[in-house]
């Protein structure tokens, strides 16, 4: 279900017909979302609903550079955790591990809402450990 929702969200960005090869389709029209917020960035969407998969990219030069995902990892990892059953819902409480951190908001019990709001890394590390590397990659059939 979560994958279906994510596919629908990602699919909403795809409005052009993809080329039937593995070369990315450049999408300068997606730049309007970056322009609106005076942001610099890139967007890569891989549409696996067809074979071969189609890749759409805004700002292809930047898309090949490596950057830290920073807080953007919280969104997919929250979906992975919900899909894997690691998290029941947004109200489930995760007990603070007792390690003092520099941001006071991290030094307390968390739920999904507070973990997202406070960028509470230890909660997302907990999810990653519980989900495991293979599930995080969507490679469930090998488990």
User: Among the options 71, 102, 114, 119, which is catalytic?
Assistant: 71
Residue pair 105/92 in contact by the 8 Å Cβ criterion: no
Same domain, 80 and 126: yes
Task: Please count the structural domains in the chain.
Answer: 2
Q: For residue 25, what are the domain limits?
A: 2-63
Same domain, 19 and 52: yes
pLDDT of residue 56: 95
Q: What is the pTM of this model?
A: 0.54
The set of residues, in sequence order, having a beta carbon less than 8 Å from that of 95 and lying 6+ positions away, is: 109
pLDDT tens for each residue of 84-133: 888 999 999 999 999 999 999 999 999 999 999 999 999 999 998 888 86
Same domain, 93 and 47: no
- Of the residues 63, 83, 111, the one at which a domain ends: 63
pLDDT of residue 72: 82
Q: Where is 31: in which H helix or E strand?
A: helix 31-36
Asked about 71 being catalytic, the answer comes back as: yes
What six digits make up the tokens of 26? 């450049």
The DSSP symbol for 141 reads G
Same domain, 81 and 114: yes
pLDDT of residue 141: 52
Same domain, 75 and 94: yes
């Amino acid at each position: 279900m979560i994958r279906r929702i994510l596919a629908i969200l990602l699919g909403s960005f795809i409005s052009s017909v993809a080329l039937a090869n593995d070369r990315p389709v450049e999408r300068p029209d997606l730049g309007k979302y970056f322009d609106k917020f005076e942001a610099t960035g890139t967007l890569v969407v891989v549409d696996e609903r067809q074979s071969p998969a189609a890749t759409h990219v805004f700002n292809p030069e930047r898309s090949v550079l490596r950057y830290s995902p920073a807080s953007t990892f919280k969104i997919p990892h929250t979906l992975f955790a919900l899909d894997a059953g690691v998290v029941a819902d947004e109200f489930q409480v995760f007990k603070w591990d007792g390690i003092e951190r520099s941001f006071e908001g991290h030094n307390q019990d968390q739920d999904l809402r507070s973990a997202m709001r406070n960028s509470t890394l230890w909660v997302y590390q907990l999810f990653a450990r519980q989900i495991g590397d293979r599930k995080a990659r969507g490679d469930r059939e090998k488990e």
